[in-house]
Amino acid sequence: MPDRPPPSMLEAPSTTLEPAALELRAPAQLGDARMQEVSSLATYLQALAEREKAEIARTLHDNGLNHRDFYICHFCLDKPRLLNDEIHLYLIDLHRIGIRTVIQRRARMKDMAALYFSAMDCGLTARDYLRFLRAYRQRGLHEIFKDESGFWQQVRQRAIRLYVKFHGRMPAHIF
């Protein structure tokens, strides 16, 4: 069993955060990921947050909505629910949201690129990005890269351009 950081890292009293309960929920909430693949409680919670962000993005886009200001800072963590061992995110800053019957490919690409750009310096790993992608598209990575490689290459290129424009340098980590 991997060592876990103390619950104080999450600003939660030890009586409200029970790792055993989290382990029992892991296969259902992470799909094919297992606790052996997760090195710490913080990493586990990060994985849940990535899945939650992917579900929010998928729900928006699959219903003809694009955020148009889709940065990681617009996801807010519900702290009271975190104290009850839940990861629940809220998406804010909805005043620019685009509403259509079906989202245009370019609008989806721009949302995804903005989210990718804004997450580049957040300490995410390649595994986090791939986990997000799999949850967002609800398909295997092999299928995604076979069928959608051009789209995800556009997302990556646009995110890098945004990063260079904003920071004046190339990002340290590109996945």
For residue 32, name the pLDDT band (cuts at 50, 70, 90).
very low
Q: What is the pLDDT of residue 19?
A: 32
Mean pLDDT of 155-169: 97
Q: What is the pLDDT of residue 45?
A: 76
CATH 1.10.510.10 matches 7-167: yes
Whether 78 is catalytic: no
Q: What average pLDDT does the structure give for the chain? A: 80
The span from the CA of 7 to the CA of 40, in Å, is: 11
pLDDT digits (tens, 9 = 90+) for 61-117: 999 999 999 999 999 988 888 888 788 899 999 999 999 999 999 999 999 999 999
CB within 8 A of 144, min separation 6: which ones?
133, 134, 137, 152
Q: What is the pLDDT of residue 87?
A: 86
> Greatest CA span in the chain, whole angstroms?
48
For residue 41, name the pLDDT band (cuts at 50, 70, 90).
low
For residue 85, what is the enclosing H or E element?
none
CB 156 within 8 Å of CB 174: yes
pTM value is 0.75
For residue 15, name the pLDDT band (cuts at 50, 70, 90).
very low
Q: What is the pLDDT of residue 93?
A: 93
Q: What is the pLDDT of residue 40?
A: 57
The residue ranking higher by pLDDT, 31 or 66, is: 66
CA distances, 132 to each of 98, 129, 147, 155, 166 (Å): 23, 5, 17, 14, 24
Q: What is the pLDDT of residue 79?
A: 86
Query: Given a cut of 70, is residue 5 above it in pLDDT?
Result: no
Length of the chain: 175
One of 32, 62, 69, 111 is an active-site residue; which one?
A: 69
For the CA atoms of 93, 95, 97, 101, what is the dihedral angle to 10 degrees?
140
